[in-house]
Amino acid sequence: MEPVYFDHAATTPVRPEVLEAMLPFLNTSWGNPSSPHRFGRAARAGLEQAKREVAEALRVEPHQVIFTSGGTEADNLAVIGCALVAGHAGKPMHVVTTEIEHKAVLASAHVVVQHGGRETFLPVDGNGVVDLDALDAALADSPTIVSVMWVNNEVGTVQPMAEIGARCGAAGVPLHSDAVQSFGKLPIDLDAAGCRLLSISGHKLGAPKGIGALIVRDRNAVEALVHGGGQQYGIRPGTENVAGAVALGRAALLAVRELDAHVSTVRALRDDLAARLRAAIPDLVIHAVGAERAPHVLSCGVPGAEAEAMLMHLDLAGVCCSGGSACSSGSATPSHVLTAMGIDRALALGTVRFSLGHESTAADVDRAVAVFPGVVERVRKLGAVLGRA
């Protein structure tokens, strides 16, 4: 029996329409888009079309689309690049972000500190929603940039971006959002959210890995981290990944065109999965259930069961999902997201994430419901035996 895939928040398969769009730029229109001859012009035409498609999907201008290698680079460019603008102008570098951001944003804030800046981390409540009073206090300190993830990648919490953007706008502080998990799953309105910088990643919505974009609404807002040629207005120089850009453009357009139907289908599947798992495992805890959540993420904590063992048994049974904690050097460390939400350590270490996508079906949900309770029972029994030993 073929395995079922519940890890779309980690990556998605390349959609056939996206592959079809990008293939010509790998085997016929393969020129350097900076070259003046016909091969270069063909590549340039594809690149410009990709910019228009991403811009159309996000309702921005094509010149505001800066292609990157993915969401991580886009986050680094936004946070560090914005701080550098302030630093080179003789102003304090101060990054304000949340305790539950992606490591790309957290690490970027740490880099700013290493270069003489400051970082402030906003707390969240038990559902992962940012504390707006703490944001107001941080804004009173005139930070360089505020970076808040639109949708959390682990638990699916949707932040109140319009309120956050209004506060940042009133304070005159640029707002960046990592929208990697929200683009294609929720309506994205940069004007309503007051976002000046927005990160997206192709492999989360049916494009290949290695391509993403940073939307830069003010070209003077960020300074380049990579130096060399003058491509992309010098903000992200280097020969562009034309095929990847074309793929991202097509995936972005498809995501927006299909958004309503996709959200309806995926949310129904996710809610059905949640209800049936809770019925089968009465003490199952669904994280962030009290907040608005993106439709594709279901984070489940299982008391008395370790995520690492559950994931191994699920994989053997043909159900592929991911955990809510990271393991390094053989010792389990609770997820920083769940820790910030105040989740008990043992429950955090027993958390698994199911994430759905375009390929998800009712049969997939049936399979997970058939397999997961037995896996939980086996892992709990094993834990009890090892505990007694």
Length of the chain, in residues: 389
Helices within the chain (DSSP H only): 16-22, 24-27, 38-58, 71-88, 103-114, 132-139, 161-171, 190-193, 242-257, 259-280, 307-316, 336-340, 345-348, 362-388
Q: Which amino acid makes up residue 113?
A: V
Question: Could you tell me which residues are beta bridge partners of residue 293?
Answer: 157
Name which of 353, 354, 336 is nearest 345 in CA terms: 336
Phi, psi angles (nearest 5°) of residue 360: -70, 140
In terms of Cα–Cα distance, which of 68, 48, 54 is closest to 214? 68
Please tell me the distance from the alpha carbon of residue 134 to that of residue 340, in angstroms, as a whole number: 14
DSSP collapsed to 3 states, 233-279: HHCCCCCCCHHHHHHHHHHHHHHHHCHHHHHHHHHHHHHHHHHHHHH
Active site residue 327: yes
Residues 135 and 132: their CA atoms lie apart, in Å, by 5
Catalytic residue positions? Answer: 327
